[in-house]
Structure 1
Amino acid sequence: MAQTEVLLTKEPAPQTIEACDLPHKKYDVACNTGAYTSSGLATTGFRTARYLMDEWFQNSYAQYHRAFADRDNSERQRHEAKQLAAETEALAQRTQQDSTRKVGERLEDMHCWKSELQREAEELTAETDLMMAQKLRLARALDATAVLFSIATDNLQCRERRQHPDLVRDYVEVELLKETELIRNIQELLKRTISQAVGQIRLNREHKETCEIDWSDKVEAYNIDDTCTRYNNQCTQVQFYPHSSKFEESASTPETWAKFTQDNLIRAERERLASVNLRKLIDSILRDTSEDLRLQCDTVNLAFSTRCKDLDDALHKLHYHLHKTLREIADQEHQVAALKQAIKDKEAPLRVAQTRLYQRSHKPNVELCRDAAQFRLMSEVEELMMSLSALKEKLLDSEQALRNLEDSRMSLEKDIAVKTNSLFIDRQKCMVNRNRYPSALQLAGY
């Protein structure tokens, strides 16, 4: 009874696989009807179906063909899968090799730009150091001009202590004023040049920092790409990053990437060349200013030497005239004394003559005669009076000449003192002070 239920629940046979060449046939459960069906008492109570022999063979053949088709399809799938695996493996290897080559090319590009940036940064560093040295030279030259200015102004102040009539605007003072004006102009020029040098140093450092930042970024990128080139299928550090295959919005293109570094290099090179030109200009400025200052210094020194020579000549002549004047004063004093003595010597003859005339005027009567003796005594008195008058007049003239000589002596001595003071100021004060004048190397900032 249980067997009968199993047969009743048997499912129809599966359809034939399309790979089989047999015609499609649907196998249904046989009905207990027809000429060849079993019926009767022996089968009473069995509600089951039986396959026919032809159907059984057909079902077997269908199973064979289905197995054959499944095997054939499986073999084809295996062959296709093997071929696909081989093709994908080769493609993956080629793609990985090409990617590695591209990353290697990128490494070469980055190495090239990195080297250029490093070279430019080093050149900017060296140029900045040279510019710092030039700035130091400018500062030293400016300090040296301060010494020059103090010397020139001290010379002018010292020469203000000259006395009249030597307090004149001579060629020494003219050259000293030119020197002070030249020093002021050079100081202004040096200050402006120092400001330019400071600004150029700042620009050099800014562009050097820009190149170093770009170089640092490229070093980091180079290390990343270099690490990427070392990855292979056997590495244990690799893993899946599903979202890494998309482009970042801030990513640059090869053109903008190269242009960015190229622009940095161009700007750095431009500033470096500007710094080189400024250094050459500073060299020229320091050389020219040093030459101008030394030339003016030589001109002033020559003017001082000439002026001192003139003062020496004047002093020599003054001393000569003073010596002659003193000698003439002595002679004039002797002459005055001689005139006084001569006047005094004429007093006795005059007294004698006047006494004789006085005594003869007392002659009595006719004895009071105008004889030859009387005329001679009168002429003697007149001659003596004329002599005294002439001597006194000459004495007055001699005394006036003596006073004039004394005035001249005082004037000469005063002028000698004035010129001695002027010579002392120019030679002992000014020229000695000018010995502290900086050398050409110090004026050039060394």
Structure 2
Amino acid sequence: MAAAGCPLTKEPAPQTVPASDLPMKVYEAALKTGPDSSSGLATAGFRTAKYLPPEWHQSNALLYHKAFTGCEQAECAGAEAKELAQHATASAQSAQEDSTAALGQRLKDMHFWKAELQKEVEDLDAETGLLAAQKQRLERALDATAVPYAIATDNLQCRERRQRPDLVSDEVERELLKEAELIGNVRELLKRTLMQAVDQMRLNRDHKEVCEKDWSDKVETYNIDDKCGRYSNQSTNIQFHPSSVKFEESASTPETWAKFSHDNIFRAEREKLASINLRILIDNILHDVSRDLRMQCDAVKEAFAKHCEELDDTKHKLEYHLKNVLKEIGDQEAHIAALKQAIKDKEAPMKVAQTRLYDRSFRPNVELCRDEAQFRLISEVEELTESIESLKKKLLESEQSLANLEDTRMNLEKEIAVKTNSIFIDRQKCMAHRIHYPVVSKLAGYL
């Protein structure tokens, strides 16, 4: 910029005229040697305090030159200042544009990671919800196994009330014991898997919180950088902050900044994959558990049905034999009565024969003869005695047979009662209770 009072256009520098080129009067006056010059004492005081015209002209010429030189220097300085100002303005504008572009690129990078973190947060939240649904299935399946376990233990306790000889370790008991052991193992497996699901859900939520915090920081930083990117020289809310021109000691680098979010997403992805695998495992476990429990339930049901058929068949056979024994007891009682009557019927002939022999023993003298009549009477008595003994022996045998039949009848009736009790326990108590066994969908945790 030109100095104040200096013309902006360049003027020609004044030229100094040599003294020899001046007019004679002027030259003489300058030399003070002209014929009219006075050197008297009267003008001495006036001449000593004044400049000479050449000096005056020289002083003016010096001032002109100084003014011209000053204007020229000022003009050069102004041009340089203008050029410097233009360069500074261009540099400042370029630097501001570069900073704005860097902020824009930073916003793009931040938007990328923010979007990735938001996606990861949404995926983890959705995965945690799916795992929570599987956890609920596990809880329902665990609750559903309580009924089969109660049924199996109740069946075993009921069958302990069977009477001998039906109190036997049969196929039904073996299947029931297998079922109770299976249900116990299933319950332990479901409890362990349930704890794994709870731990995995906690890890999912922890990593979701980490990603949310990272996402929240990036949203806040994105808003800050976006606001910074919108600042311009015409903004009204800008001011000097000299202390801000420094790097914080805790500040991260672009590499560590990107690695931080990358590691958070990597760990979240790892937990999400673990959660997916756990859901698949839970689904397989519930499917296998429900299938195994139903298969064992069907095996127990089949064993019960088979055993009940055997009991029914045995009971029918016992009832058939009891019917025959009762019939035989009636026949045997009739035989005993007939034998007793036959023995009683032999009393009169025996009395007759013995009375005859007794009366003939009173025959006098030689009349007491062993005649044919005597031999025949003795033979008759012996025959009657032998017949009575045979009848009594047969009576004893018949009575013993009747006693045996009575014992058999009692044993058959007792055994029929035992079989009836066993059938009642297996069919009315156990099998009737087993109709409350949960269906496959409930054991799988769907209901």
Task: Give the whole-Å Cα distance in 2 for the aligned partners of 1:60 and 1:228.
Answer: 60
Residue aligned with 1:42, SS: helix
Q: How far did 1:368 drift?
A: 2.1
Q: How far did 1:49 drift?
A: 2.5
Contact 1:22 1:62 in 2 (8 A): no
Q: How far did 1:43 drift?
A: 4.4
Closer/same/farther in 2, CA of residues 55 and 327 from structure 1, 3 Å limit: same
| Residue equivalent to 2:23 | none
Once the two structures are aligned, what percentage of the paired residues are identical? 66
Aligned-partner residue type, residue 256 of structure 2: T
Aligned-partner residue type, residue 87 of structure 1: H
Contact 1:186 1:289 in 2 (8 A): yes
Contact 2:14 2:64 in 1 (8 A): no
| Residue equivalent to 1:358 | 358
Task: Give the whole-Å Cα distance in 2 for the aligned partners of 1:256 and 1:157.
Answer: 68
| Residue equivalent to 1:378 | 378
| Residue equivalent to 1:325 | 325
Using the TM superposition, name which of 423-432 and 364-373 deviates more: 364-373
Aligned-partner residue type, residue 80 of structure 1: E
TM-score w.r.t. the length of structure 2 is 0.90
| Residue equivalent to 1:334 | 334
Task: Give the whole-Å Cα distance in 2 for the aligned partners of 1:404 and 1:296.
Answer: 46
| Residue equivalent to 2:10 | none
Contact 2:128 2:205 in 1 (8 A): yes
Q: What's the C-alpha RMSD, in Å, of the aligned pairs? A: 2.0
Using the TM superposition, name which of 231-240 and 44-53 deviates more: 44-53
- 1:138-217 pair list within 5 angstroms: 138-217=138-217
TM-score w.r.t. the length of structure 1 is 0.90
Deviations 1:190-213 (A, max 9, x none): 111111111100000000000000
Q: How far did 1:378 drift?
A: 1.2
| Residue equivalent to 1:297 | 297
| Residue equivalent to 2:101 | 101
| Residue equivalent to 1:116 | 116
Aligned residues: 418
Closer/same/farther in 2, CA of residues 38 and 126 from structure 1, 3 Å limit: farther
- 1:61-76 pair list within 5 angstroms: 61-76=61-76
Contact 2:14 2:61 in 1 (8 A): no
Task: Give the whole-Å Cα distance in 1 for the aligned partners of 2:285 and 2:226.
Answer: 51
Deviations 1:221-266 (A, max 9, x none): 0111111121111111111212222111111110000000000000
Deviations 1:21-70 (A, max 9, x none): 999xxxxxxxxxx9879765424666952222222222222111112112
Contact 2:158 2:429 in 1 (8 A): yes
Closer/same/farther in 2, CA of residues 93 and 373 from structure 1, 3 Å limit: same
Contact 1:175 1:299 in 2 (8 A): yes
Q: How far did 1:417 drift?
A: 0.6
Task: Give the whole-Å Cα distance in 1 for the aligned partners of 2:14 and 2:377.
Answer: 207
Q: How far did 1:187 drift?
A: 1.2
Ranges in structure 1 where 5+ consecutive residues have no aligned partner: 1-19, 24-33
Task: Give the whole-Å Cα distance in 2 for the aligned partners of 1:192 and 1:153.
Answer: 23
Aligned-partner residue type, residue 357 of structure 2: L
- 1:366-445 pair list within 5 angstroms: 366-445=366-445
Correspondence 1:240 to 2:236: no
Residue aligned with 2:42, SS: coil
| Residue equivalent to 2:89 | 89
Contact 2:318 2:416 in 1 (8 A): yes
Task: Give the whole-Å Cα distance in 1 for the aligned partners of 2:160 and 2:38.
Answer: 163
Deviations 1:370-408 (A, max 9, x none): 222221111111111000000000000000000000000
Closer/same/farther in 2, CA of residues 333 and 253 from structure 1, 3 Å limit: same
Ranges in structure 2 where 5+ consecutive residues have no aligned partner: 1-12, 17-30
Aligned-partner residue type, residue 157 of structure 1: Q
| Residue equivalent to 2:27 | none
Aligned-partner residue type, residue 255 of structure 2: E
Deviations 1:162-182 (A, max 9, x none): 111111111111111111111
| Residue equivalent to 1:262 | 262
Task: Give the whole-Å Cα distance in 1 for the aligned partners of 2:349 and 2:112.
Answer: 132
| Residue equivalent to 1:133 | 133
Deviations 1:254-290 (A, max 9, x none): 0000000000000000000001011111111111111
| Residue equivalent to 2:22 | none
Q: How far did 1:326 drift?
A: 0.4
